Structure 1
């Protein structure tokens, strides 16, 4: 059984996308970021960076004690290796998937996160920051669009954890100042993943989580996400 510590954010959706695709049994333990639950000692023992998602695998392949994993990219890799799914076994295919997984966790996610912050949530509108991260978002969309030209998915013909990592960060393209019609290959890929049955189930789970907040109006949530060490 996988215990998933989760909140409906792009990084949280990555893991439910995988779990819904595979049918691996799991339970959800909501971590209300607006209430500061990511700072609670029990959670920090699993995720010392006070970020979700995190998982505990109560039935690891070695049959030993439960295994905890934090960081969304590491979780996707762990689950892919556990199930033998969505990560090629050959060295060349595996390397391509891992390249694009690291591209997402090291670039696409952080840069689009900064884009969201300065465009939507920063208390002061800073033109330099808004322009900087909007331009970088546009560049990264261009990288992904070029990669998808002539390919069904990021790593080639097969859906993989590289796609699961990138897709949730593109869902809010309009809020990032992106016109998705400028990126036809990415748009085709985006619409294909959006229509997968597992994608619909994963996002429907997010809609059921109670206690969601609006960062533009909830000062406690803003402090917990942006103002605590």
Structure 2
């Protein structure tokens, strides 16, 4: 049995979307970060860094944190959401890693400096606005010639990117000028599993 420990966040939504896409049975445990659940001993035993999401598989004994690792595990477990063709498979993994190393961290820093910092720091705000706009442009150019990040196949790369792009929309980080990226976002967002996944364990409400 799969157990998912998560909260309403971009990283959490990646995994709820994937589980819904794969129609896998799982038990959902709401880790309420605002209430400090992520710092409780039972959760820290699963992830000593105190971050969501965490996935445990009681059938295999596997315990995973880091959303990219969880997405790869679910794909390997089911044989789905990664292309079978080797070139396309590595294309998906490459863009999954791009998300993990660039997209998520950059948008996370922009959210912090624009919305949560105690005092505005103009240099930091400008830096992360510029870096995220550059990242939007990279994705827009890629999607000008393919429907999904890996090519013709919808994959965990798309799911990973959608989690943070969904939050970007909610907090009004506008990327509408990037037509191909915006069309991709609408295409992914129309999927039934995505629409359900972004409501679990509760919808994001903005900052």
TM-score scaled by structure 1? 0.85
Where does residue 27 of structure 1 map in the other structure?
A: 27
Where does residue 223 of structure 1 map in the other structure?
A: none
Greater Cα radius of gyration, structure 1 or 2: 1
Q: Contact conserved, 2:107 with 2:128, CA < 8 A, in 1?
A: yes
Q: Does 1:204 align with 2:199?
A: yes
Three-state SS of the structure 1 residue aligned to 2:47 is coil
TM-score scaled by structure 2? 0.94
Q: Does 1:160 align with 2:166?
A: no
Distance 2:88 2:205 in 1: 40
Q: Which sections of structure 1, spanning at least 5 residues, go unmatched?
A: 61-65, 216-229
The correspondence of residues 1-229 of structure 1 with structure 2, limited to 5 A, is 1-60=1-60, 66-174=61-169, 178-207=173-202
Distance 1:199 1:56 in 2: 22
- For structure 1, which segment, 117-126 or 41-50, has the greater mean C-alpha deviation from structure 2 after superposition? 41-50
CA RMSD of aligned residues (A): 1.8
Structure 1 runs (4+) deviating above 2 angstroms are 88-91, 172-181, 204-208, 212-215
User: Residue by residue, what CA displacement relative to the aligned partner does 1:50-99 show, whole Å, maximum 9, x if unpaired?
Assistant: 11001101123xxxxx2111100000000100010011233322211111
Q: Contact conserved, 2:171 with 2:206, CA < 8 A, in 1?
A: no
User: Residue by residue, what CA displacement relative to the aligned partner does 1:5-58 show, whole Å, maximum 9, x if unpaired?
Assistant: 010100000001100001100011111111221112211221122110011011
Q: Which sections of structure 2, spanning at least 5 residues, go unmatched?
A: none
